[in-house]
A and B are shown apart, each in its own frame.
Chain A
Amino acid sequence: MPSVQQASTDSATASEAPSHLLLAFLQSQSQNTLTRLYQRPSSCLSIFRLLGPLERQIVMNLLWLESSIPASTMATWVPHEVRKTYENSLSILSRLHILPQSAVKLALNPTFKTSLRHAIIGGGSSGSFGVPATRDEKHSSPSIEVLDAYALERWETILHYMVSSGIATRPSQGVLFLLQRSGLMASIHGGSLQITSLGFQFLLHSPHAQLWELLLQYLHMVEERQMDLVEVLSFLFMLSTMELGREYSVEHLSPTQTAMLEDLRDYGIIWQRRATSKRFCPTRLATTLTSSSPPLPAAGGVSASAHGQGFIILETNYRLYAYTDNPLQIAVLNLFVTLKSRYPNLVVGAITRESVKKALTNGITADQASRQIISYLTTHAHPQMRKNKPLLPVTVQDQIRLWELEKNRMKSQEGYLYTAFASQADYEYVLNYAKQLGVVLWESSGRRCFFGTLEGHPNIRGFIERRTAGNA
């Protein structure tokens, strides 16, 4: 199983991202939907690959058992210190309806069990992993380079459009709509689309996370478009288990899935010779949907290799050298770097107070800006930088954080100052009431006054009026 070998790398990433975006979405679906989804072996395999290492371990242990095992037997394998992690994994599996929650016995959902077994040993109903097209006499199937170039071009068109705030080449209507619906871009006063603060954060994420963020938004729109969620999900999972560079036939797809072909073509997830073609090819974006390999090609020219390996060198004097000629990467860097000069394969700039401040005002959310910038620099660091420990110069990291703090030196909140109480008892009486409402921002019993939020004021005023009316 490829996924079992990935366990070690996955566990490293698992610590920072507790669970995959999609799992949260699946957990919110009904049992009925999930059971229908689990009828397809490819879906089960894909979901299995998205699970954390411990969940995978539990599933594997139970997969080949014909009958259920007592929960206590399973629990004896678990040392006391990690009991909490184990229970957490069980609850994730039960929310996915893979392992029904039971205090007595543990057994996998029978549908899931059958399908995952089929996925591993083969057999069962075919078609869940896609049906390869017969050889085409006129055209040879596209090479992997062609597919990679296509996926990259499509994907970067979308990102570049976002970065340029609507000046670069427009992606298709469907993509524009998706960007707007996901709140990554918004049109201001009915004008052209502008990137939002959410969009800025999006750009600093890894391509894999970006892809799933867009696809999740797509899944949220599925019902509005009266498409069947199970069909859509299982098609995505099917794509994720397909082989790169092989052509598949569209004949066995349901009408919903055929309709999806057009959308997925726009995102660069699949390739078709013509819109009406009877065959399609998944690109690397598709085949890595549920794996930990990078979704964008790593081989090729200077710019392409920069994708996989990282291209940024950051020095202790805040100077930054980026070995790239990719307009998208330069545009992203331009969000928080003052670029000084540009050569055919190199951009030179510096991280300055002004450039970081510009990023803050531009919308990279204030409380996370430094974290986002640092994580972007870390993930795209040049291999030469990886010899350093720590990876990024500490001075620069700290300074970025300090610049961010500088921006937030003063916090403000509107409200009312309650003062000049007649007696200490009076003061404490009103303060207690305000505290119960949870609206007190500041208090001083010595000065006998406190500050409450705007929202709490009508309640407090009513409370005092009732009290004075009662006393009179």
Chain B
Amino acid sequence: MKAIRGVVLTCDPAVKQILLTMNEKLSFIIEDLDEHHLVIKADEEWRVRRELEAELEKNTYSLE
């Protein structure tokens, strides 16, 4: 038995796919649990959040 320290992310499948793509560039995923859950390295969380935010932002149209 082993215990691995990490952060569990709960998200929708679409966000999970984006995360998987991001993982190809720079690996941070420890374990792919199921459609809605991923375990990632704890110290990568904020970088991942920032990059995800930027990625989601590309898909929105702004009036301003």
Supposing A418-B3, A461-B3 touch, asked if A442 and B8 sit within 8 A by C-beta, the answer is yes
A interface bracket (residues with beta carbon within 8 Å of B):
20 to 34
Give chain A residues whose Cβ lies under 8 Å from the Cβ of B10.
410-413
> Given A354-B64, A410-B15, are A464 and B1 also a contact pair (CB < 8 Å)?
yes
A352 to B42, CA, bound (A): 34
Stretch from A26-34, A381-389, A420-428 contacting the other chain: A420-428
B33 touches A444 (CB 8 A): yes
Q: How far is the CA of A416 from the CA of B3 in the complex (A)?
A: 6
Q: Which residues of A455-472 have CB atoms within 8 Å of chain B's CB atoms?
A: 457, 460-461, 464
Determine if B60 and A451 form an interchain contact, defined as CB atoms under 8 angstroms apart.
no
Kindly report which residue of chain A lies nearest to residue B4, judged by CB atoms.
A417
Instruction: Please tell me if B24 contacts chain A, counting CB pairs below 8 Å.
Output: no
Across the interface, do A412 and B9 meet the contact criterion of CB distance under 8 Å? yes
Contact pattern, B 25-51, Cβ under 8 Å of A = 1, otherwise 0: 000001101100101001001000100
Q: Which residues of B contact A419 (CB under 8 A)?
A: 1-4, 31
The minimal Cβ–Cβ distance linking A286 to chain B, given in whole angstroms, is 45
Q: How far is the CB of B53 from chain A (nearest CB, A)?
A: 10
Interface contact A412-B45, CB-CB below 8 Å:
yes
B12, A413: Cβ atoms closer than 8 Å: no
Q: Are A417 and B62 in contact (CB under 8 A)?
A: no
Q: Decide: A410 and B52 in contact? CB cutoff 8 A.
A: yes
B residues with a Cβ closer than 8 A to A are 1-12, 15, 30-31, 33-34, 37, 39, 42, 45, 49, 52, 56, 60, 62-64
Listed from nearest, the 8 A-B pairs whose CB atoms lie closest are A410-B11, A411-B10, A416-B3, A417-B4, A451-B8, A421-B1, A414-B7, A412-B7
Known pairs A410-B9, A447-B33; list 6 more (Cβ under 8 Å): A410-B49, A415-B6, A418-B2, A419-B2, A420-B2, A422-B1
Residues in A lying within 8 Å of B, measured CB to CB: 338, 350, 352-354, 406, 409-422, 426, 430, 441-442, 444, 447, 449, 451, 457, 460-461, 464
